[in-house]
Chain A
């Protein structure tokens, strides 16, 4: 099983450039998430999608857009990259949402983004 697949693994951008991080899961999960991980800040939720066709903001959504293309795919777009968006981005999925205590996330391997 591939689980959660993210692309690209590494990317270097110049300030103002745009890019899209792709994420796909093959576990038939309903919910998908984008987190960013920064030193000293831990993991912070950017956006999530509880089910196909819905998306909601997380803790740090500014500067990002998302698209839940279908049940398998959830993309994260940076329209105009800024140095503050230099981070490691993780996509995750889970089979349940709204059921407290039963939200085990499966994570992708991460995408390391550097904005110069």
Chain B
């Protein structure tokens, strides 16, 4: 079965610093999703990547999918306290022969110190 490994598990950065979170898959990724979870709340969709080498940006967050489609990175530029939370990567999986279900990494907990 497919597994997603996220690193680091947790991260504390000073406000204004850049940071990168990685997500590595044991199998080829056909759809890679990044979500953010604020403490005690549900997950909010950030970005979706499908093609090898694809890169997307939203405000100060950039996500990339490598050419081999087995690793994705999420980069935050000039971090702010509002970026704090848990970042999870998700990928299309296959349970019981049916597609359309996401599996998730265990998440990266980001804290931003003012």
B-binding residues in A (CB < 8 A): 4, 31, 33, 35, 40-45, 48, 50, 56-59, 90, 92, 94, 96-110
Mostly helix, strand, loop or mixed at chain B's interface?
Answer: strand
CB of B66 to closest CB in A, whole Å: 16
CB of A100 to closest CB in B, whole Å: 4
**B98 and A50 within 8 A (CB):** yes
User: How many chain B residues touch A (Cβ–Cβ < 8 Å)?
Assistant: 27
Which of A35, A41, A97, A110 contacts B99, CB < 8 Å?
A: A97
Q: Given A42-B88, A57-B96, A100-B30, verify A105-B105 contact (CB < 8 Å).
A: no
**B99 and A98 within 8 A (CB):** yes
User: Is B102 close to A, CB under 8 A?
Assistant: yes
**A101 and B45 within 8 A (CB):** no
The 3 lowest CB-CB distance pairs between A and B, nearest first, are: A97-B100, A101-B31, A42-B106
**B43 and A105 within 8 A (CB):** yes
Q: Which residues of B contact A106 (CB under 8 A)?
A: 45
A-binding residues in B (CB < 8 A): 30-31, 33, 35, 40-45, 48, 50, 88, 90, 92, 95-96, 98-107
Which B-chain residue is minimally distant from A96 (CB atoms)? Answer: B100
**A99 and B41 within 8 A (CB):** no
**A42 and B105 within 8 A (CB):** yes
Which A-chain residue is minimally distant from B51 (CB atoms)? Answer: A101
Complex CA gap A92/B45 in Å reads: 12
Complex CA gap A33/B41 in Å reads: 17
Q: Which residues of A contact B44 (CB under 8 A)?
A: 107
Q: Given A42-B88, A105-B45, verify A97-B98 contact (CB < 8 Å).
A: yes
Which B-chain residue is minimally distant from A45 (CB atoms)? Answer: B101
Q: Which residues of A contact B88 (CB under 8 A)?
A: 42-43
Which of A41, A42, A103 contacts B92, CB < 8 Å?
A: A103
Q: Which residues of A contact B42 (CB under 8 A)?
A: 4, 90, 107-110
**B30 and A101 within 8 A (CB):** yes
Which B-chain residue is minimally distant from A99 (CB atoms)? Answer: B100
9 A-B pairs with CB atoms under 8 Å apart are A33-B101, A42-B105, A50-B100, A94-B100, A97-B101, A99-B100, A100-B92, A100-B99, A102-B48
